[in-house]
Chains A and B, each alone.
Chain A
């Protein structure tokens, strides 16, 4: 089974609106971490936000928030007030238990296009 599933290959959003990028994960570990990265056309992966499996609050970083629903095994990224510079590829990733070290498993990604 896929460890990380991003079901939206591409998304469009109007500038200044909010957008949600979906991510579901599969793990039997109790301790794990979820990450979101942004990859602009330049290629560099930029860390956006992190959610630990034991964190009770949803993570927030500026315009980024993570809608963490543990029972559903989903970790959707919400971008508020979209900007043209948000156009990029977005990857969800998971780090499983300590025995796997800091190994990240990535989803296939979602391309986001912000329209003016």
Chain B
């Protein structure tokens, strides 16, 4: 595997379900990101982890719970979601969080549908 991978690619869940999204980066990067992409809205940054420590939480509802066990893996745990949470969830990674040019590499995303 190369780059940034995400599983599952598609997920349909009911509002009472609990599910998790997984992201893995094979680039040796230290920073990882979760973005939400809703229809007709710009990409929204949700969370950032740098060296496994959360550095950004962009006022995300608590029904989204991130976890970063190491610099290569990032999870997004989902519970009691709402239909408006249906979106494409993108994971990204970069070499660092600070210090100049840090291109973000994105995964293919998980298309989430909440019924």
Pairwise interchain contact B43-A91, C-beta atoms closer than 8 A = yes
Which A58-95 residues have C-beta < 8 A from chain B? 91, 93, 95
A35 to B92, CA, bound (A): 14
- Contact mask for chain A residues 34-63; partner B; CB cutoff 8 A; 1 contact, 0 none: 010100001111110010100000000000
User: Does B90 make an interface contact (CB < 8 A)?
Assistant: yes
A108 to B98, CA, bound (A): 25
Pairwise interchain contact B97-A102, C-beta atoms closer than 8 A = yes
Pairwise interchain contact B42-A44, C-beta atoms closer than 8 A = no
With known contacts A43-B109, A44-B108, A98-B98, A103–B103 Cβ distance under 8 A: no
B98 CB contacts on chain A under 8 angstroms: 98, 101-102
- Contact mask for chain B residues 9-47; partner A; CB cutoff 8 A; 1 contact, 0 none: 000000000000000000000010000000011110100
Pairwise interchain contact B42-A102, C-beta atoms closer than 8 A = no
Pairwise interchain contact B96-A43, C-beta atoms closer than 8 A = no
Partner of B104, one of A47, A52, A109: A47
With known contacts A45-B90, A106-B42, A101–B101 Cβ distance under 8 A: no
Which A7-38 residues have C-beta < 8 A from chain B? 33, 35, 37
Closest beta carbon of chain B to A99's beta carbon, Å: 9
A108 CB contacts on chain B under 8 angstroms: 40-42
Pairwise interchain contact B48-A104, C-beta atoms closer than 8 A = no
Partner of A35, one of B96, B103, B107: B103
User: Does B73 make an interface contact (CB < 8 A)?
Assistant: no
With known contacts A43-B111, A45-B90, A103-B48, A52–B101 Cβ distance under 8 A: yes
User: Does B82 make an interface contact (CB < 8 A)?
Assistant: no
Q: Which of B42, B102, B106, B111 has the most CB atoms of chain A within a 10 A radius of its CB?
A: B42
A to B CB contacts below 8 Å, 5 in the list: A35-B103, A47-B103, A101-B48, A106-B42, A109-B42
Q: Which 6 A-B pairs have the closest CB atoms?
A: A45-B106, A43-B109, A106-B43, A44-B108, A102-B102, A106-B42
